[in-house]
């Protein structure tokens, strides 16, 4: 294959990882933006989404596509419910103190991992894709499902954007983000907003995981990489900025896809991790974020 | 002065009790105790950064691994003897902590946690990347004949226990001296109110960097000692799990108490051991312990004791 088509393939692969990453990271970024807490269990909500997707597609009789659609609806719901329960039972009692929440969500992550290990097992299992046609380019054939993932992720992200900027709920969320006390003074039940945002964040991670499950596999330890990558995206995009997060996800996803074609994956990961750490050290507001006091 | 006597008497009594323990408990538990004492040195290091100075790091596994791999690789591939290799391991921990601190301490709070986590992840991946040398996740063992320190064979149970105790005693006394010194009080001041400490003429950045470097010295020494005493070096010690365990041990025992790391490591070790007999769900035990501690006993066992009865506990 010539360099041109080769780069095209790498770009497609990069777009798929960018799409999945953007969904996951927007979930993490939303929680950070509105609630000002770092959710270390975010990767485990991602894992939960994939594992529930496996369970739903296997329990559902009939065509694989039907089971997949059910998983796409039920997995995020399950993750969101667990997240809301955790918010009520744990985070609210901690009064959202940043360091306490970090410790508590580390604990929550371990509990979710153990739950998946006990109930689902240590194996990595594949989830059947809803359809399997290939799109034939002049140089190679490419999975139609992967292209559908890109489109679907873009739709969900547009939905999140519309929710935040065009609806009453979004307005309430932004008001809470801006100033929680004033929002409370205006009669907004910020406890409910927090629970909703935490659930929404987990649901987005789970959605991403359902999409990725037919491409990779579902495994109880799969949450580590998405967590670190989401941190990276949210940091580079500027903590709490939706647009920056999406741009950073594209940047990191594409780089990941293209670098992965040319470099050893471990070396690429090492360099990328150090680079992100240095961005956070020298530009704490991110590459696209504005300086705030 | 009587306060000082009381404090030293308590800590020396703990050391004497640990010295007598192998005469009383079965060999299985003596080996466990040796392991716990080495890991408690790691936890004491974490406590200097987190408990006394308020630095919530998720990268301490990197410092433990720095000491462990410096010592292990120098012994296994460089043909070094145990003594110089142990020193190199300790310095590797302190050196890595100093460099990480120079960068990471420009941030605070959640950003500091994420930066340290990322540096540690890069370190873990580096160990995997040089798999030819480190044998990656599988790790490597140290030859029996290389594990001799000052003519003492570290492989036999009795000398291993004594060596672990000597290391732990040095760490404990060092920590006690530190927290009772002027420097120790500056660290606590930085934790409590960094701005006010700056106003009083101290440099919070330098204090934090000192705390992190000392913390790295402890962690590196613990890693180096672990490699020599137990003869195994593996990448699992560089994973985020070990950073979390250090946090858990310190929280459980009591952050900002000198004996807390030992108590936390001891209790958690036997809690996981005990739970392991009942169920395989050890991750659940760790997770639940973290959540319950942060919800109901944020000051840990000794912190609660200090608040209720023993206000003089350092």
Q: What is the pLDDT of residues B12-48, one digit of tens each?
A: 888 888 888 888 888 888 888 999 999 999 999 999 9
Helix or strand or coil: residue B149? strand
* Interchain pair B284, A102: CB under 8 A: no
Q: Are B60 and B100 in contact (CB under 8 A)?
A: no
pLDDT value at residue A293: 34
Structure confidence by residue, pLDDT tens digits, A236-266: 887 667 788 889 898 888 877 777 666 667 7
E strands within chain A?
134-136, 141-143
Question: Is the predicted pLDDT of residue A232 greater than 90, yes or no?
Answer: no
Please name every residue paired with B232 in a beta bridge, in sequence order, or none if there are none. B141
Interface of chain B toward chain A, CB-CB under 8 angstroms: 56, 103-104, 106-107, 109-111, 113-115, 117-119, 121-122, 125-126, 128-129, 240, 244, 247, 251, 280-284, 286-291, 293-295, 298
Q: Are A59 and A243 in contact (CB under 8 A)?
A: no
Question: Is the predicted pLDDT of residue A290 greater than 80, yes or no?
Answer: no
Set out the domains of chain B in order of their start, with CATH numbers.
Answer: 2-308 (1.10.3470)
Q: Are A102 and A68 in contact (CB under 8 A)?
A: no
Please calculate the CA angle A109-A110-A112 and round it to the nearest 5 degrees.
65
Q: Greater confidence, A73 or A135?
A: A73
Nearest-neighbour CA in chain B from A288: distance (Å): 17
Q: Which of A278, A259, A257 is nearest to A267 (CA)?
A: A259
- Rounded CA-CA distance B272/B291 in Å is 16
- Rounded CA-CA distance B40/A85 in Å is 35
H/E stretch holding B141: strand B140-141
* Interchain pair B280, A118: CB under 8 A: yes
Which residues on chain B are in Cβ contact (under 8 Å) with A267? 129
The DSSP code for A291 is P
* Interchain pair B125, A90: CB under 8 A: no
pLDDT value at residue B1: 47
Q: Greater confidence, A205 or A126?
A: A205
Question: Is the predicted pLDDT of residue B219 greater than 90, yes or no?
Answer: yes
Question: Is the predicted pLDDT of residue B140 greater than 50, yes or no?
Answer: yes
Q: Are strands B152-153 and B148-149 parallel, antiparallel or unpaired?
A: antiparallel
Please calculate the CA angle A103-A105-A108 and round it to the nearest 5 degrees.
115
Which residues on chain B are in Cβ contact (under 8 Å) with A38? 110, 113-114
pLDDT value at residue A128: 81
Structure confidence by residue, pLDDT tens digits, A156-194: 999 999 998 899 888 888 888 888 888 888 888 889 999
- Rounded CA-CA distance B143/B131 in Å is 19
Can you count the helices (H) and strands (E) in chain A? 11, 2
Structure confidence by residue, pLDDT tens digits, A78-136: 999 999 999 999 999 999 988 889 889 999 999 999 999 989 888 888 888 888 888 88
pLDDT value at residue A287: 65
Where in chain A are the domains? 19-221
pLDDT value at residue A289: 58
* Interchain pair A102, B110: CB under 8 A: yes
Give the number of beta-carbon pairs within 8 Å between A and B: 114
- Rounded CA-CA distance B237/A250 in Å is 33
User: CA-nearest residue of chain A to B239?
Assistant: A224
The DSSP code for A91 is I
* Interchain pair B129, A267: CB under 8 A: yes
Residue of A106, A223, A278 to mutate for B, most B C-beta atoms under 10 A:
A106
Tokens of B189: 């001041």
Q: Greater confidence, B297 or A104?
A: A104
How many C-beta atoms surround the C-beta of residue A111 within 10 A? 22
* Interchain pair A277, B113: CB under 8 A: no
Nearest-neighbour CA in chain B from A133: distance (Å): 37
Question: Is the predicted pLDDT of residue B155 greater than 50, yes or no?
Answer: yes
Q: Greater confidence, A170 or B148?
A: A170
* Interchain pair A114, B284: CB under 8 A: yes
Give the residue carrying structure tokens 């420097």.
Answer: B183
Nearest-neighbour CA in chain A from B103: distance (Å): 6
- Rounded CA-CA distance B97/B63 in Å is 7
* Interchain pair A108, B287: CB under 8 A: yes
Nearest-neighbour CA in chain B from A94: distance (Å): 7
- Rounded CA-CA distance B223/B62 in Å is 10
* Interchain pair B281, A266: CB under 8 A: no
Residue of B50, B121, B243 to mutate for A, most A C-beta atoms under 10 A:
B121
Across chain B, which distance is largest between two alpha carbons, in Å?
Answer: 57
Which residues on chain A are in Cβ contact (under 8 Å) with B107? 280-281, 284
Which residues on chain B are in Cβ contact (under 8 Å) with A106? 244, 247, 287, 290
Distances in whole angstroms, Cα of residue A128 to Cα of each of A51, A58, B74, B278 = 13, 9, 49, 36
- Rounded CA-CA distance B160/B153 in Å is 8
Question: Is the predicted pLDDT of residue A291 greater than 60, yes or no?
Answer: no
Which residues on chain B are in Cβ contact (under 8 Å) with A274? 118-119, 122
- Rounded CA-CA distance A182/B173 in Å is 51
Radius of gyration of chain B (CA): 19
| Start-end of H helices in chain B | 2-24, 27-47, 60-76, 82-104, 109-129, 131-134, 157-180, 182-192, 194-199, 204-230, 240-253, 260-278, 282-296, 300-308
H/E stretch holding B148: strand B148-149
pLDDT value at residue A239: 64
A172 phi and psi, to 5 degrees?
-60, -40
Least CB–CB distance from A107: residue in B107, B280, B291: B291
Which residues on chain A are in Cβ contact (under 8 Å) with B289? 107
Least CB–CB distance from B281: residue in A94, A118, A281: A118
pLDDT value at residue B2: 67
Least CB–CB distance from B281: residue in A102, A114, A280: A114
Structure confidence by residue, pLDDT tens digits, A43-62: 999 999 999 999 998 887 77
pLDDT value at residue B16: 87
A136 phi and psi, to 5 degrees?
-95, 110
Question: Is the predicted pLDDT of residue A1 greater than 70, yes or no?
Answer: no
* Interchain pair A104, B129: CB under 8 A: no
User: CA-nearest residue of chain B to A235?
Assistant: B111
pLDDT value at residue A27: 94
Question: Is the predicted pLDDT of residue A64 greater than 90, yes or no?
Answer: no
Predicted ipTM of the assembly: 0.83
How many C-beta atoms surround the C-beta of residue A15 within 10 A? 20
Nearest-neighbour CA in chain B from A93: distance (Å): 7
- Rounded CA-CA distance A102/A115 in Å is 20
pLDDT value at residue A244: 86
pLDDT value at residue B99: 95
- Rounded CA-CA distance A149/A154 in Å is 8
**Percentage of residues of chain B with pLDDT beyond 90:** 35
* Interchain pair A107, B288: CB under 8 A: yes
| Start-end of H helices in B143-203 | 157-180, 182-192, 194-199
Which residues on chain A are in Cβ contact (under 8 Å) with B288? 107, 111
Residue of B132, B191, B291 to mutate for A, most A C-beta atoms under 10 A:
B291
How many C-beta atoms surround the C-beta of residue A187 within 10 A? 6
* Interchain pair A108, B107: CB under 8 A: no
């Amino acid at each position: 294959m010539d360099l041109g088509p080769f780069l095209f393939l790498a770009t497609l692969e990069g777009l798929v990882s960018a799409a999945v990453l953007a969904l996951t990271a927007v979930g993490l970024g939303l929680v950070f933006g509105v609630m000002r807490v770092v959710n270390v269990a975010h990767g485990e909500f991602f894992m939960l989404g994939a594992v529930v997707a496996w369970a739903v597609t296997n329990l559902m009789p009939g065509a694989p596509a039907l089971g997949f659609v059910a998983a796409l609806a039920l997995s995020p719901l399950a993750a969101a419910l667990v997240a809301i329960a955790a918010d009520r039972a744990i985070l609210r009692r901690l009064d959202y103190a940043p360091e306490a929440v970090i410790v508590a969500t580390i604990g929550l992550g371990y509990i979710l991992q153990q739950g998946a290990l006990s109930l689902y097992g240590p194996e990595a299992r594949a989830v059947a894709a809803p359809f399997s046609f290939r799109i034939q380019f002049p140089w190679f054939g490419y999975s139609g499902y992967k292209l559908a993932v890109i489109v679907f992720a873009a739709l969900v992200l547009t939905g999140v954007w519309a929710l935040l900027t065009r609806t009453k709920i979004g307005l309430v969320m932004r008001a809470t983000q801006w100033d929680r006390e004033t929002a409370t003074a205006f009669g907004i039940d910020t406890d409910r907003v927090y629970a909703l945002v935490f659930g929404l964040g987990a649901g987005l991670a789970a959605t991403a995981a359902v999409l990725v499950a037919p491409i990779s596999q579902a495994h109880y330890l799969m949450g580590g990489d998405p967590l670190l990558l989401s941190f990276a995206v949210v940091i580079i995009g500027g903590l709490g900025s939706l647009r920056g997060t999406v741009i950073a996800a594209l940047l990191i996803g594409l780089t990941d896809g293209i670098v992965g074609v040319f470099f050893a994956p471990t070396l690429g990961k090492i360099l990328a991790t150090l680079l992100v750490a240095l961005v956070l050290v020298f530009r704490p507001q991110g590459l696209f974020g504005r300086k705030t006091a | 002065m009587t306060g000082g006597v009381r404090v030293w008497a308590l800590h020396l009594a703990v050391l004497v009790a640990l010295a007598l323990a192998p005469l009383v408990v079965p060999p299985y538990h003596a080996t466990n105790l040796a392991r716990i004492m080495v890991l408690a040195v790691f936890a004491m290091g974490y406590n200097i950064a987190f408990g006394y100075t308020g630095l919530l790091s998720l990268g301490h596994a990197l410092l433990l691994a720095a000491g462990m791999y410096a010592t292990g690789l120098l012994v296994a591939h460089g043909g070094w003897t145990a003594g110089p290799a142990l020193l190199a391991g300790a310095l590797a921990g302190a050196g890595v902590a100093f460099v990480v601190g120079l960068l990471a301490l420009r941030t605070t709070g959640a950003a500091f946690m994420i930066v340290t986590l990322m540096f540690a992840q890069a370190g873990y991946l580096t160990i995997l990347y040089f798999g030819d040398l480190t044998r990656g996740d599988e790790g490597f063992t140290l030859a029996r004949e290389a594990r001799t320190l000052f003519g003492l064979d570290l492989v036999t149970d009795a000398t291993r226990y004594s060596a672990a105790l000597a290391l732990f005693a040095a760490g404990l006394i060092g920590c006690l001296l530190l927290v009772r010194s002027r420097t120790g009080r500056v660290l606590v001041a930085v934790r409590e109110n960094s701005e006010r400490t700056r106003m009083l003429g101290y440099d919070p950045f330098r204090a934090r960097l000192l705390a992190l470097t000392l913390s790295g010295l402890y962690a590196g020494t613990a890693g180096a000692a672990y490699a020599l005493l137990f003869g195994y070096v593996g990448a699992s010690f560089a994973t985020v799990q070990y950073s979390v365990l250090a946090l858990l041990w310190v929280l459980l025992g009591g952050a900002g108490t000198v004996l807390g790391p030992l108590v936390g490591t001891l209790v958690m070790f036997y809690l996981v051991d005990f739970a392991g007999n009942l169920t395989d769900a050890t991750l659940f035990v760790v997770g639940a312990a973290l959540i319950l501690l942060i919800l109901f006993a944020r000051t840990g066992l000794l912190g609660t004791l200090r608040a209720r009865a023993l206000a003089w506990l350092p």
